[in-house]
Structure 1
């Protein structure tokens, strides 16, 4: 499978790309900073596309010829407030142009589905996000809404606090009651690749938690 990855040099993107290559997939790594990748174009199965998903630079080139697209873009202090929404629009437009159907994207567990049950810990986390990171939460929710309205075969994975350095190689997925716990980024990467290979959770917004 040829997988276009947006956010490939991020802390989730790097293990995602590495695991994809280990599983025998081709990776198209879209990035503003190719020097941050842990591999270069000489590695078999790797294509690097330099660009900026927010402006749309390089998005079309990265998506063309892909079998699936993954976005693990994340907000930082220097990011535009609408990073996920605007970049997601560019990605979806390129997917429609090149008839690429499968899309998996990552948002925080604070993004809710209408009518879903939320644990006390989840409610507390949601309240904290609204207080401290309202722009990030609204951007994630807008991105998820636009993906849901698209005609792609999408999966929106919702994750709690992301940790790193202690992957178990396993995870939980589904209608989970999540609070302040963390899930390792490498395990999230495993979950993403499992969704692409199994073709499940299409048109769904499952939560991902630590095993």
Structure 2
């Protein structure tokens, strides 16, 4: 499989690249700082140096790909929600259907306040909602697209290897879920490339 990835130098994105390469796939990553992936460089990893707001760089990254992973994070601004429309438009142009994106548990449904998302409700302990609002915009864009998308929504995300035995739930964070490591988030997101179980769905993930 030829996999395009955005956000490949991030905590989850890099782990996804490592998994994909270990399993023999070809990966193309759009990054601003190629040196961060030089230790993984080889014939199966193609690095495109550029900005995720550059349509030409996105086209170069996506050309020839079978599926897409976005593990882009928020940057305090609107880069995330500005880049996703460019990625989706290019996917449609190139007839690529599958995208798996990493979001946040804040955009899952609230259990305690029906009709609200977690970041809008008392379930959220965060006083600042900018990051969740960016991910909310991404969800809206995915939902309004014709693509086969899955939005993986981890809760508190410490660095760490896969521990296994995590729980997943469509549209909600698993009951009493408190954390999920970057390793298991990467493992679950990567596994969705070969699964249609959660097509066009948000998926909460936690231990």
TM class by shorter chain equals 0.7 to 0.9
RMSD of aligned alpha carbons: 2.0
Tell me which residue corresponds to 1:145.
Answer: 140
1:124–1:179 contact (8 Å) kept in structure 2 = no
1:182 aligns with 2:192: no
| TM-score of the aligned structures, taking structure 2 as reference length | 0.87
Question: Which one is further off, 104-113 or 49-58?
Answer: 49-58
SS in 1 for 2:202: coil
**Alignment gaps of 5+ in structure 1:** none
Tell me which residue corresponds to 1:108.
Answer: 104
Report matched runs for 1:40-51 at 5 Å. Answer: 40-41=40-41, 43-51=42-50
Following the alignment from structure 1 to structure 2, what is the Cα–Cα distance between the partners of residues 160 and 208? 7
1:30–1:51 contact (8 Å) kept in structure 2 = yes
Match of 1:171 among 166, 177, 188: 166
1:59 aligns with 2:53: no
Closer, same or farther: CA 38–125 of 1 in aligned 2, 3 Å: farther
SS in 1 for 2:11: coil
**Alignment gaps of 5+ in structure 2:** none
Shift of residue 178, structure 1, vs aligned partner: 5.3
| TM-score of the aligned structures, taking structure 1 as reference length | 0.86
Report matched runs for 1:24-173 at 5 Å. Answer: 24-37=24-37, 39-41=39-41, 43-56=42-55, 58-75=57-74, 79-113=75-109, 117-118=111-112, 123-126=121-124, 128-129=125-126, 131-132=127-128, 134-173=129-168
SS in 2 for 1:12: helix
How many equivalent pairs are there? 199
Following the alignment from structure 1 to structure 2, what is the Cα–Cα distance between the partners of residues 40 and 47? 10
Following the alignment from structure 2 to structure 1, what is the Cα–Cα distance between the partners of residues 112 and 23? 35
Following the alignment from structure 2 to structure 1, what is the Cα–Cα distance between the partners of residues 21 and 95? 24
